[in-house]
Copies of this chain bind each other. A is one copy, B any other.
């Protein structure tokens, strides 16, 4: 049914969360915005507006991953979280700055942009998952963005009609380097889930709430794409 091979991170926890999100997961991965990246029909204005918001998103998403360091209980958990913060701040954000610069948007314009409500809702929900819960609650809220973007990269990998600009974006999230991030995060999730929930994670009373948290973050991803379309129309 799916147009790409779903990655197997050997993480029953992520698989369970993904399955529990049901239709919302595919509404996120195969959103009109995403399909427009693949067939090249997404208006450039929508993409640029998305990139600007995503720059602000990544700053706050880095803060959320920093909360994972604050909440880590072992040196290994801390190292994975720190490596992810580093990849976000020194690679992914820089990529946004470079693409934007090439498209004529300076970093000071990025910083001066108004943060949209959809953006606020998503990142602050993730950060509060860390403040209100434990590391596992936080990871359930962080997961949809991390894994979803790789699936989107895979979904769009063979797109023939996309533009060079969108191709660069697609390749970023499809490539081996980004996949390695996903794999380390999957390992972290398994590690923390077993430390918190035991050998039968889905039998723990927290399971449903964790699934809900993952699904809420997935819904907020859908809203984020929708925001991209809306901003593209407005400009």
Choose, from A5-13, A58-66, A149-157, A171-179, the stretch at the interface: A58-66
| Residue A194 CB within 8 A of the other chain | yes
| Residue A105 CB within 8 A of the other chain | no
In the bound complex, CA of A107 to CA of B117 (Å)? 29
Kindly identify, within residues 100 to 123 of chain A, every residue whose CB is under 8 Å from any CB belonging to chain B.
107, 111, 115, 117-118, 120-121
| Residue A75 CB within 8 A of the other chain | yes
Shortest C-beta distance, A120 to chain B (Å), equals 5
Count of identical protomers in the assembly: 4
Q: Is the CB of B63 within 8 A of A70?
A: yes
Chain A residues bordering chain B, tally (CB within 8 A): 51
Known pairs A82-B62, A82-B86, A127-B124; A70 contacts B72 (CB<8 A): no
Q: Is the CB of B124 within 8 A of A128?
A: yes
| Residue A204 CB within 8 A of the other chain | yes
Find chain B residues with CB under 8 A from A209 CB. Answer: 73
Kindly identify, within residues 111 to 168 of chain A, every residue whose CB is under 8 Å from any CB belonging to chain B.
111, 115, 117-118, 120-121, 124-125, 127-128, 131-134, 137
Shortest C-beta distance, A192 to chain B (Å), equals 11
Shortest C-beta distance, A127 to chain B (Å), equals 5
Find chain B residues with CB under 8 A from A219 CB. Answer: 117
Q: Is the CB of A63 within 8 A of B59?
A: no
- The residue from B70, B111, B124 contacting A66, defined by CB atoms under 8 A apart: B70
Q: Is the CB of A59 within 8 A of B86?
A: no
Which residue among A72, A75, A90 has the maximum number of chain B CB atoms within 10 Å of its CB? Answer: A75
Choose, from A14-22, A28-36, A37-45, A195-203, the stretch at the interface: A195-203
Q: Is the CB of B127 within 8 A of A75?
A: no
| Residue A187 CB within 8 A of the other chain | no
| Residue A79 CB within 8 A of the other chain | yes
| Residue A223 CB within 8 A of the other chain | yes
- The residue from B63, B128, B198, B223 contacting A72, defined by CB atoms under 8 A apart: B63
Supply 8 A–B pairs (Cβ within 8 Å), ascending by A. A66-B81, A67-B70, A70-B132, A71-B131, A75-B89, A75-B93, A82-B85, A120-B124
The list of the 7 closest CB pairs from A to B, nearest first, reads: A124-B124, A121-B121, A66-B69, A134-B134, A66-B66, A124-B128, A120-B121
